[in-house]
């Protein structure tokens, strides 16, 4: 009997029978006292609550992030408020920010570089930050092959010495005019954070946990959750940057916490229990957009999603594993995908859409002009569809490519390896974080299944996901984002493609060690890019184009787009958030190290009780209201100076309270939503859908009988709700959504697991 495996869209389609009806009737939720892990007596207004997007840290007391494969430093706050970095790049301007270093100087032959450190900077125990810390960090990297920075250090560094307490001299093995980039936070962070010599000296650099971490940032670690879900940081009152630069953060505490899956995060933000988060899938973002009148994203008004996440999301292949080491196989998998289905799955109700790119570069306008457009004719020859801006959907070509390397398709429609074995692809996907990447995994799996390939998606927690990302996905594929760019020149972004940087202890996708006819040519291009000074811009860009074209010929991984990032920020307790275009001093990326500069700009609104938060003098909060438009409204400038409208009857809008009151008084808007259409009918649809789901499961055999019984019980419970809906609060409505989505997701994932 042919088994029909449910499409992942069932998870959302079933839930969406309810969502429109419930959300249209939502009244704004009164904020409650957040049950946050804070010391006794600490009011909500003293704490900035940031999402720990990496989920559960297996060992929350291990801060030795020099070792690859651990949950990243951006989930627990280490790189934002604690770690020692020499330079940062401003994410909105691309300009460098001198931090613990104030400058650098290269010799004429670019084989010697000096770093000049900031005098007066101190670790938070009062010990001066000096050149000896930097030299110790470099020498330890040279001598410790287990450190993630070892390969780079061994490739480039001959020696390092402290000329004096504030000058580091580094001798290079060969000319490299952009060596300092390695010590600069460009995207996310850098593995070259400096360790305090007086703490690390004499310790085993591999087994030492660096707990509690000695901070040089504006906060010190105060407490951690033994289960690894939250990390609490407390303000350093004698911070060096306060003394030297006049900088002092307003929040007394910063809490990095993992609330749970997307729907739970959405509810936390609606209830003002989460001030900023990494992102949400569109359905969960809709809950926040409709439920939080103080919401901001990349912009203060819709569309909210940040379009320029610095990484292109997609599917990475383990290039050191058969058959993904065959170019024809990877290309066939690309052409088997109908890109439109992937694209439409990320369309948001606020008008947010993905920014498509066929190349492993973020499609900033300047990048499209410099790279994509000049390569357009070559990309079309390789299979670019100019209508979608991505690779063509061509199942016939995919079939030809696979057959050309010995694959066969059986009478059952299943593809087989040249050995005759049924081909199964295993995709590692994140669970509990990066849910947009999990969505990509299931969407791509459905595409490949429709093409006749057996695919198994395995969602895993952060620790396993990180380890597999470093060691190589055992099933051959994983939702990955190796294409990350920010600067116009690509050298620091793609130099890791060179085989000299391959780390056998952390092979990742294996691209640096992948053998193909143009491997030596790609290495030579990157060598030339590294030798060329960054101010020779035209030459560096042309070399970058050549490298990108080789990438496109090989297609070592699949990149779709930077997923629309709902990097939402709540203005209820805190304001000063970066928003485009009026206050665009930094991108709203709370998981990047640059978020420290955002934290330094925040101030309390007074809407939440405070005790030790530092106020902004003379600030008056602007209140917002949500209205439902019942008449045509022309575009207008709101009381906050932003532009709103035009609106038509039936639109939902979040606008300044002063403007909301005006529209209501004019009979053009209402503060209460229209009557929700037929919740009972919506429940009937849901019950019908679940009955069909149970029928699908019956055809699958005995392995899911227990789940089928649970669905039957859930069906009975939903039926009981019909007579009680008038008494259910807005929060309860949302909880119902969460429960239903979670249960159906569990069912769908269970169905995808191979039978024992």
pLDDT score of 630 more than 60: yes
Q: Who's near 652: CB < 8 A, 6+ residues apart? A: 290, 626, 627, 628, 629
Query: How do residues 383-415 score in pLDDT, each as one tens digit?
Result: 999 999 999 999 999 999 999 999 999 999 999
Specify if 593 maps to a domain. Answer: yes
Specify if 211 maps to a domain. Answer: no
Q: Who's near 520: CB < 8 A, 6+ residues apart? A: none
How far is residue 167's CA from residue 105's CA, in Å, rounded to a whole number?
10
DSSP 329-382: HHHHHHHT--HHHHHHTT--TTS------SSSS---HHHIIIIITTTHHHHHHH
Residues 471 and 402 in one domain: yes
If one counts every other C-beta atom within 10 angstroms of the C-beta of residue 544, the result is: 24
Query: How do residues 341-376 score in pLDDT, each as one tens digit?
Result: 999 999 888 888 899 999 999 998 899 999 999 999
Query: How do residues 274-333 score in pLDDT, each as one tens digit?
Result: 999 998 888 899 999 989 989 999 998 888 999 888 899 999 999 999 999 999 999 999
Residues 351 and 476 in one domain: yes
Specify if 304 maps to a domain. Answer: no
Average pLDDT, the chain: 86
Residues 285 and 231 in one domain: yes
- pTM reported for the whole predicted model: 0.75
pLDDT score of 750 more than 60: no
Specify if 78 maps to a domain. Answer: no
Here the CATH number for the domain that contains residue 637 is 3.40.5.50
Residues 520 and 545 in one domain: yes
Residues 442 and 331 in one domain: yes
How far is residue 254's CA from residue 357's CA, in Å, rounded to a whole number?
36
DSSP 11-24: HHHHHHTTHHHHHH
**DSSP designation for 56:** -
pLDDT score of 14 more than 60: no
> 3-class DSSP state for residue 680?
helix
Q: Are 315 and 507 in contact (CB under 8 A)?
A: no
pLDDT value at residue 692: 55
* pLDDT mean over 680-702: 49
How large a percentage of the chain has pLDDT more than 90?
67
Q: Are 110 and 176 in contact (CB under 8 A)?
A: yes
The count of domains in the chain is 5
Residues 606 and 716 in one domain: no
Specify if 569 maps to a domain. Answer: no
Here the CATH number for the domain that contains residue 170 is 3.90.76.10
pLDDT value at residue 705: 40
Nearest residue to 51 via CA among 231, 289, 299 = 231
pLDDT value at residue 641: 78
* pLDDT mean over 538-543: 97
Here the CATH number for the domain that contains residue 392 is 3.10.105.10
Residues 406 and 423 in one domain: yes
DSSP 246-303: ----S-SEEEEE---SHHHHHHHHHTTS-SB-S---HHHHHHHHHH-TTEESSSSSS-
- Give kind and range of the element (H or E) at residue 141: helix 131-143
Instruction: Give, in order, the Cα–Cα distances in Å from 507 to each of 68, 157, 497, 499.
Output: 10, 22, 12, 11
* pLDDT mean over 483-499: 93
Enclosing domain of residue 648: 624-670
Q: Who's near 450: CB < 8 A, 6+ residues apart? A: none
pLDDT value at residue 626: 78
- Give kind and range of the element (H or E) at residue 554: helix 537-554
Q: Which of 670, 704, 736 is the last residue of a domain?
A: 670
Specify if 379 maps to a domain. Answer: yes
Specify if 179 maps to a domain. Answer: yes
How far is residue 366's CA from residue 374's CA, in Å, rounded to a whole number?
12
pLDDT value at residue 486: 87
509, with CB counted inside 10 A (0-12, 13-18, 19+), is: buried
Instruction: Give, in order, the Cα–Cα distances in Å from 648 to each of 626, 663, 667, 700.
Output: 15, 13, 13, 48
Q: Which of 200, 228, 251 is the last residue of a domain?
A: 200
How far is residue 455's CA from residue 350's CA, in Å, rounded to a whole number?
33
Specify if 209 maps to a domain. Answer: no
Residues 235 and 285 in one domain: yes
Residues 375 and 266 in one domain: no
Among 9-18, 121-130, 181-190, the minimum mean pLDDT is found in 9-18
Residues 404 and 474 in one domain: yes
Check residues 211 and 564 and name the one with the higher pLDDT: 211
Q: Which of 200, 225, 245 is the last residue of a domain?
A: 200
Nearest residue to 503 via CA among 542, 472, 539, 457 = 472
Residues 523 and 581 in one domain: no
* pLDDT mean over 250-272: 94
Residues 285 and 331 in one domain: no
Among 70-74, 107-111, 150-154, 357-361, the minimum mean pLDDT is found in 70-74
> 3-class DSSP state for residue 641?
coil
């Amino acid at each position: 009997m042919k088994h029909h495996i449910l499409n992942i869209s069932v998870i959302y389609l079933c839930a969406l029978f309810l969502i429109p009806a419930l959300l249209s009737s939502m009244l704004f939720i009164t904020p409650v006292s957040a049950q946050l892990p804070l010391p006794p007596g600490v009011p909500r207004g003293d704490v900035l609550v940031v999402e720990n997007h990496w989920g559960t840290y297996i060992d929350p007391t291990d801060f030795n992030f020099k070792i690859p494969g651990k949950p990243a430093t951006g989930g627990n706050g280490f790189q934002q408020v604690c770690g020692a970095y020499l330079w940062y790049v401003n994410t909105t301007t691309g300009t460098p920010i001198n931090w613990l270093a104030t400058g650098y100087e290269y010799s004429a032959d670019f084989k010697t570089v000096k770093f000049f450190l900031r005098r007066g900077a101190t670790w938070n125990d009062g010990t001066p930050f000096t050149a000896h810390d930097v030299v110790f960090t470099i020498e330890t990297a040279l001598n410790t092959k287990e450190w993630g920075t070892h390969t780079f250090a061994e490739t480039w560094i001959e020696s390092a010495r402290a000329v004096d307490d504030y000058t580091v001299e580094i001798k290079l093995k060969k000319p490299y005019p952009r060596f300092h980039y390695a010590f600069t936070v460009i995207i996310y962070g850098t593995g070259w954070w400096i360790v305090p010599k007086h703490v690390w000296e004499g310790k085993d650099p591999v087994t030492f946990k660096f707990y509690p971490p000695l901070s040089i940032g504006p906060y010190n670690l105060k407490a951690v959750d033994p289960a690894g879900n939250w990390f609490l940081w407390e303000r350093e009152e004698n911070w060096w940057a306060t003394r030297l630069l006049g900088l002092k953060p307003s929040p007394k505490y910063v809490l990095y916490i993992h609330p749970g899956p997307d729907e739970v995060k959405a509810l936390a933000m609606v209830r003002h229990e989460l001030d900023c988060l990494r992102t949400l899938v569109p359905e969960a973002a809709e809950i926040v957009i409709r439920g939080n009148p103080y919401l901001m994203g990349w912009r203060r008004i819709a569309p909210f999603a940040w379009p320029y996440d610095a990484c292109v999301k997609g599917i990475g292949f383990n290039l050191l594993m058969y058959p993904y080491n065959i170019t024809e196989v990877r290309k066939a998998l690309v052409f088997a995908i109908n890109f439109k289905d992937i694209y439409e799955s990320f369309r948001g109700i606020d008008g947010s859409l993905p920014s498509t790119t066929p190349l492993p570069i973020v499609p900033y306008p300047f990048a499209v002009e410099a790279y994509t457009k000049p390569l357009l004719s070559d990309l079309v020859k390789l299979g670019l569809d100019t209508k979608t801006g991505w690779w063509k959907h061509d199942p016939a070509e995919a079939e030809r490519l696979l057959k050309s390397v010995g694959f066969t398709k059986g009478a059952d429609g299943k593809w087989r390896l040249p050995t005759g074995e049924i081909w199964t692809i295993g995709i590692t996907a994140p669970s509990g974080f990066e849910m947009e990447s999990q969505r990509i995994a299931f969407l791509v799996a459905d595409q490949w299944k429709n093409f006749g390939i057996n695919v198994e998606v395995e969602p895993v927690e952060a620790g396993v996901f990180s380890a597999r990302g470093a060691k190589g996905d055992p099933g051959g594929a994983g939702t990955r984002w190796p294409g990350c760019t920010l600067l116009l020149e690509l050298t620091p972004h793609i130099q890791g493609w060179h085989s000299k940087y391959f780390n056998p202890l952390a092979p990742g996708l294996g691209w640096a060690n992948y053998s193909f006819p143009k491997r030596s040519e790609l290495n030579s291009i990157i060598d030339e890019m590294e030798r060329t000074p960054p101010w020779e811009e035209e030459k560096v860009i042309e070399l970058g184009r050549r490298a990108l074209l080789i990438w496109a010929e090989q297609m070592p991984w699949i990149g779709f787009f930077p997923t629309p990032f709902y990097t939402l920020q709540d203005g209820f307790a805190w304001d000063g958030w970066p928003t485009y275009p009026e206050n665009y001093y930094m991108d709203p990326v709370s998981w990047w190290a640059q978020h420290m500069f955002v934290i330094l700009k925040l101030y309390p609104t007074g809407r939440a009780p405070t005790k030790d938060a530092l106020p902004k003098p003379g600030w008056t909060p602007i209140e917002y209201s949500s209205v439902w438009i019942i008449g045509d409204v022309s575009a207008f400038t709101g009381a906050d100076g932003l532009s709103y409208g035009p609106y038509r009857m039936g639109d939902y809008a979040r606008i300044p309270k002063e403007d909301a009151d005006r529209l209501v008084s004019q009979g053009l808007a209402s503060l209460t939503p229209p009557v929700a259409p037929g919740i009972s009918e919506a429940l009937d649809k849901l019950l019908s859908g679940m009955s069909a789901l149970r029928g699908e499961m019956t055809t699958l055999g005995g392995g899911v009988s227990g789940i089928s019984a649970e669905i039957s019980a859930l069906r009975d419970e939903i039926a009981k709700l019909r007579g009680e809906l008038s008494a259910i609060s807005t929060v309860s409505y949302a909880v119902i959504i969460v429960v239903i989505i979670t249960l159906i997701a569990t069912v769908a994932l269970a169905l995808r697991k191979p039978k024992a």
